[in-house]
C-alpha cells in the first residue's frame, strides 16, 4: 500500500493544489493532505477552516482515496505516524526549487526511509500561489478561476470582511 502525504499551508487551497492532489491520487493508493501551520506567513483562514474547505474540495472532486488531516510538528513525523513512504510536493518554475530542494534534503536527513516526490505544476497554474490569491483578496479583487468552487464563496466573504481585520 503506497501512502503519500501532501503537506502545505493551503491558506487557501488553490486550483494548483487541487491539480497536484488529483494527480497524486492517481499514483498512490492513499493520499493524506496534511495541513500545517507556517508561523512565517500571515494567515487568512484558521487551520480548522482550511481543513473544512479542503474536505469540501476533495468531496467535490470525488477523490475517494484522499483524506485531510493536520499536523503541528515535523512533516516527516506526521508521515511516519501515518505509515506514509512519500511526501509529494508541487514545483512551480525555478522559484520553488531552492527552498524545496533544501527541505527535501533536510527531510531525507531526518527520515532516510521517506522519499520526496516532486510533481511539476500544470502549465496553467504555474503562476499561482496562495500568497497571490491572498493579495488579490486583500486588494478587493475577485479570485474566481484560481481556487476550487468550495473555496470561492468563503474567500469572497473574506474580501467583504476585510482581510486586514483578520
Min separation Cβ 160 and ligand PNS, Å: 25
Q: Of the two residues 36 and 148, which places its CB atom closer to ligand PNS in the complex?
A: 36
Residues binding ligand PNS (CB under 6 A): 7-9, 36-38, 41, 74-75, 103, 106-107
Nearer to ligand PNS by C-beta: 47 or 122? 47
Contact 21, 68 (CB under 8 A): no
Question: What are the cell numbers at 100?
Answer: 524545496
Q: Regarding beta strands 30-35 and 66-70, do their DSSP bridges make them parallel or antiparallel, or are they unpaired?
A: parallel
Catalytic residue chosen out of the listed positions 37, 55, 70, 92 = 92
Q: Specify whether 158 is catalytic.
A: no
Compute the least distance from the CB of residue 95 to ligand PNS, in Å: 12
Listed in order, strand segments (DSSP E) in the chain are 3-8, 30-35, 66-70, 86-91, 115-120
Smaller CB separation from ligand PNS, 56 or 75:
75
- Contact (CB, 8 A) for 133 and 12: yes
Closest CB to ligand PNS belongs to which residue?
36
Catalytic site includes residue 62? no
Measured CA to CA in angstroms, residue 64 lies from 16, 21, 122 at distances of 19, 12, 22
By beta-carbon proximity to ligand PNS, the closer residue of 9 and 24 is: 9
89, 130, 134, 158: the active-site residue: 130
How many CB atoms lie under 10 A from the CB of residue 69? 14
Give catalytic status of residue 67 as yes or no.
no
17 is catalytic: yes
Which residues 6+ apart lie within 8 Å of 64 measured at CB? Answer: none
The catalytic residues are: 17, 41, 92, 130
Amino acid at each position: 500500500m503506497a501512502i503519500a502525504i501532501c503537506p502545505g499551508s493551503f491558506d487557501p487551497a488553490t486550483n494548483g493544489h487541487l491539480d497536484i492532489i488529483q494527480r497524486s491520487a492517481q499514483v498512490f493508493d492513499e493520499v493524506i493532505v496534511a495541513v500545517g501551520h507556517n508561523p512565517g506567513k500571515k494567515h487568512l483562514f484558521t487551520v480548522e477552516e482550511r481543513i473544512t474547505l479542503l474536505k469540501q474540495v476533495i468531496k467535490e472532486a470525488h477523490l475517494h482515496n484522499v483524506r485531510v488531516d493536520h499536523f503541528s510538528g515535523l512533516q516527516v513525523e506526521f508521515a511516519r505516524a501515518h505509515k506514509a513512504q512519500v511526501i509529494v510536493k508541487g514545483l512551480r518554475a525555478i522559484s520553488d526549487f531552492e527552498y524545496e530542494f533544501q527541505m527535501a534534503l533536510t527531510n531525507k536527513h531526518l527520515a532516510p526511509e521517506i522519499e520526496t516526490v516532486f510533481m511539476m505544476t500544470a502549465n496553467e497554474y504555474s503562476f499561482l500561489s496562495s500568497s497571490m490569491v491572498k493579495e488579490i483578496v486583500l486588494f478587493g479583487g475577485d479570485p474566481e478561476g484560481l481556487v476550487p468552487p468550495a473555496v470561492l464563496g468563503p474567500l469572497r466573504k473574506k474580501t467583504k470582511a476585510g482581510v486586514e481585520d483578520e
